[in-house]
Amino acid sequence: MTKFIGTGVALITPFNADLSIDFDALERLVEYNIANGTDYLVISGTTGESVTVTSEEKKELIAFISKINNGRLPLVLGIGGNNTMSVIEEIKSTDFSTIDGILSVTPYYSKPTQEGIYQHFKAISAIAPKPIILYNVPGRTASNMSPETTLRLAKDFDNIVAVKEAGNNVHQYLELLRSKPKGFLILSGDDDLALGVTLAGGSGVISVIGQALPKEFSEMIRLGIARRAKEAYDIHFKLMPITALIFSENNPSGIKAVLSALNISKPDVRLPLVKATDLLKSKIESELKVLGKS
C-alpha cells in the first residue's frame, strides 16, 4: 500500500468564531499541504474533532475536501467507535468513490479484551470496501491493542494493511517492526517518535504538526525512509520544541494555535475543548519566529 507511505496529516476541522465550519480556511489548509510535500490527507480523525462534528457535517467535509483535492493526493477517512454495529452501518452508508483508505480506531471507553478488539476489526474487515489502517491510541481509548493482536489482524485479513500506532511506546513499535508480515505498514501516530520509528523500518507517519510545517516534516520523513539519519535528525531537532508545544494543553487546540499564527485558520475549537491559552500562543509564536515562519 504505497499510497500510505510517507507523511499523512490528520487535518483539523477549521471553525469560524460561531463554530460553523470554515470552508475557506479548509481550502487554504488542503492547498498548503498539497503544495508543500504532504503525501496523503486524513479526514475526520481525532485532530479533526470527529467526536463533535455531526454526521451531516462529516459528509460535507468529505465532499469538500474531495473536490478541492481533485485526486491529487490519496484520502483516508476516519470511521471508528465502540459500537461495532454502528461503525459497520456508517461504512455501509458512506460514499467511498474519492476515498483510498479507512482509519479505524480501537473501541474506546468499553475497554474490550484483546479478543474483543480482534473480533471488532474482523467484523469491519468483512464489509470494508477500502483498505483499513488500524489506529491504536491507548491514551485516548483506555485500551491498548497489543502487538500480538495487531499482528494477528495483519496476518489474517488482507485488507488490513497498516497500523497507526500512537501509544508513545518505543518497545511496542519495535515489536511490531520486528514481527510484522511483509507489506504491512507501521505508521507512527506520535510526532515526536516518527523519525526514529521510520529509521527503524516504519513507513512514515500520520502527523498533527505536519499540516502546519508540511515542507519540513515531510522532508524529514523522506530522509528517514532513505536512511539518511544525520540530515533527517537535523530537521527533527529543529522541530522538537514546536512539536512538544502543540500537545502541551490539548489536541487540536495547540495545532490550531499554530495554524492561526500562520494565518491559515482560526484558533476556535468546540467544547469540551477550549482554545489555547495566551501563554501557549505566545510560546508558539516565539518558536515560529525561531523557525523563520513569522
pLDDT tens digit sequence for 14-57: 999 999 999 999 999 999 999 999 999 999 999 999 999 999 99
55-76: pLDDT as tens digits: 999 999 999 999 999 999 999 9
Half-sphere exposure of 48 (CA within 13 A, CB side): 25
208-242 confidence digits (pLDDT tens): 999 999 999 999 999 999 999 999 999 999 999 99
Q: Are 117 and 147 in contact (CB under 8 A)?
A: no
pTM of the model: 0.97
User: Does residue 1 register a pLDDT over 80?
Assistant: no
The DSSP secondary structure of 257-286, one letter per residue, reads HHHHHTTSS-----TTS-PPPHHHHHHHHH
For the annotated catalytic residues, the residue numbers are 135, 164
Position 262 confidence tier, pLDDT thresholds 50, 70, 90 = very high
What was the pLDDT predicted at 294? Answer: 74
Judge if the upstream peptide bond of residue 107 is cis by omega within 30 degrees of 0.
no
